[in-house]
């Protein structure tokens, strides 16, 4: 097995969500990228929107890492691969530093990555130092090396916080609350990067200037990353063409999922349910999550695509529909304004957006073919749907998770699946049942 690699790395965590982790992680990445350095970013947890922002800032795809969803071996392999070419590795945490099981702190501890805290200090001064010290000393198996004060009102405000911190936990930088370094948001989090690219560039470059005038301009100490032996996936999808919806309405796609499908031999064909009128020639279809509620009128108007997908469904070929893709498969979708739009009607039922509430959390997708790790995150509900074939399984709660539906070759649910957690299972989901034995022979 190859030897260890040393690479500067830092884990950016916070006491809660909404503290500015993504903005500041993007700013650090953009600054070092402008210095000619290769910056690789990882996002803790099952997040689709933050990685889009961070990819634009760094110039490299951003992989999601989670010890429960992906496993320690997968995470270790991802870090090692990045360290081979990177000059700097950044990891953005999820929620609060100790929230969840496993938490951001658990991921940082497992791989020995030092943590820098990001804290929104609006409305407090010395108390910010007290909170930072409490987080830094809450567990003795994680190393916290500094604080970044976000929404700092003035030089005096910054000085009060800095003077209250111990020498072991310095104030590394402060960021003012200015519109030029604020990322746009909507109901599920940040706005997709593809919708606001020019606005993001202004934000990144303005924030990078603040990074350059702070201690963050220096590279953090190197971290030792070890190799992980992972067997290549079986080529169960050799020669299989998979059509994947990808446009403004459907963009919640893990890079790990498409990488796995390619490694298993699949030929991936991307198309737009909004703009295209024909499906690519394909043996299977994937309708991932996204924001169909924001583009429901355009989706409803593209009746030619409706016909294409309905015909594909009638053929009995494999279709996977996740969250937004699941809503697209229902008879109709009511958007946030209360307008109802006609959808594909592959499944009986209606979807409706809700202004508040919803579901969020990790679950296992329990399928006839086996189990995959997954998560749910939506602010909509479905009703009048068929009887589900099963439910998601929550890791530490007995209540049933999301409903899972199966009709013909269609598998549909609110769950977002992490394909590398069970490659053979996802291959069977995509393949028509009559071809599963043929695929098994391909693997041999």
Catalytic site positions = 323
What secondary structure, in 3-state letters, does the chain show?
CCCCEEEEEEEEECCCCCCCHHHHHHHHHHHHHHCCCCEEEEEECCCCHHHHHHHHHHCCCCEEECCCCCCHHHHHHHHHHHHCCCCEEEEECCCCCCCCCCCHHHHHHHCCCCEEEEEECCCCCHHHHHHHHHHHHCCCCCCEEEEEEECCCCHHHHHHHHHHCCCCCCEEEEECCCHHHCCCEECCEECCHHHCHHHHHHHHHHHHHHHHCCHHHCCCCEEEECCCCCCCCCCCCCCCEEEEECCCCEEECCHHHHHHHHHCCCEEEEECCCCCCCCCCCCEEEECEECHHHCHHHHHHCHHHHHHHHHHHHCCCEEEEECHHHHHHCCEEECCCCCEEECCCCCCCEEEECCCCCEEEEEEEEECCEEEEEEEEECEEEECCCCCCEEEECCCCCCEEEEEEEECCEEEECCEECHHHCHHHHHHHHCCHHHHHHHHHHHC
**Half-sphere CA count of 242, side-chain side, radius 13 A:** 30
Distances (CA, A) of 146 to 103, 135, 142: 19, 11, 13
Among 48, 322, 38, residue whose Cα is nearest residue 192? 48
Distance of CA 384 to the CA centre of its chain: 30
CA atoms of 161 and 149, how far apart (whole Å): 8
The token pair that represents 397 in the structure block: 């709660």
Among 389, 375, 383, residue whose Cα is nearest residue 333? 383
């Amino acid at each position: 097995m190859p030897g260890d690699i040393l690479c500067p790395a830092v884990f950016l965590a916070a006491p809660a969500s909404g503290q500015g982790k993504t903005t500041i992680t993007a700013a650090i990445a953009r600054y070092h990228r402008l210095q000619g350095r290769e910056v690789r970013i990882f996002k803790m947890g099952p997040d689709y929107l933050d990685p889009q922002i961070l990819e634009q800032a760094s110039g490299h795809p951003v992989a999601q890492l989670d010890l429960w969803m992906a496993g320690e071996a997968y995470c270790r392999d991802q870090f090692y691969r990045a360290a081979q070419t990177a000059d700097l590795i950044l990891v953005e945490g999820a929620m609060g530093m100790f929230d969840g099981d496993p938490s951001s702190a658990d991921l940082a501890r497992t791989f020995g990555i030092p943590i820098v805290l990001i804290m929104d200090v609006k409305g407090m001064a010395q108390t910010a130092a007290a909170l930072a010290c409490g987080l830094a000393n809450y567990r003795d198996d994680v190393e916290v090396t500094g604080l970044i004060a976000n929404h700092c009102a003035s030089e005096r405000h910054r000085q009060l916080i800095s003077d209250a911190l111990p020498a072991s936990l310095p104030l590394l930088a402060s960021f003012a609350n200015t519109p030029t370094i604020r990322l746009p948001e909507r109901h599920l989090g940040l706005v997709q990067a593809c919708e606001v690219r020019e606005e993001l560039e202004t934000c990144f470059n303005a924030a990078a200037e603040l990074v350059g005038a702070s201690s963050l301009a220096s590279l953090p100490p190197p971290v030792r990353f070890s190799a992980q032996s992972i067997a290549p996936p079986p080529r169960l999808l050799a020669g299989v063409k998979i059509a994947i919806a990808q446009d403004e309405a459907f963009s919640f796609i893990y890079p790990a999922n498409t990488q796995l499908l390619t490694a298993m031999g699949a030929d991936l064909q991307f198309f737009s349910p909004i703009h295209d009128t024909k499906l690519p020639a394909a043996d299977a279809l994937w309708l991932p999550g996204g924001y169909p509620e924001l583009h429901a009128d355009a989706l409803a108007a593209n009746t030619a695509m409706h016909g294409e997908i309905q015909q594909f469904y009638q053929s009995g070929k494999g279709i996977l529909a996740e969250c937004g893709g699941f809503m697209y498969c229902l008879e109709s979708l009511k958007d946030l304004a209360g307008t109802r739009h006609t959808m594909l009607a592959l499944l009986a039922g209606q979807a409706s957006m809700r202004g508040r509430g919803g579901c969020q959390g990790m679950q296992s997708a329990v399928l006839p073919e086996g189990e995959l790790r997954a998560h749910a995150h939506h602010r909509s509900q479905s009703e009048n749907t068929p009887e589900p074939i099963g439910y998601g399984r929550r890791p530490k709660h007995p209540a049933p998770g999301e409903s899972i539906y199966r009709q013909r070759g269609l598998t549909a649910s609110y769950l977002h699946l992490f394909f590398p957690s069970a490659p053979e299972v996802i291959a069977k989901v995509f393949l028509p049942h009559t071809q599963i034995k043929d695929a098994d022979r391909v693997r041999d």
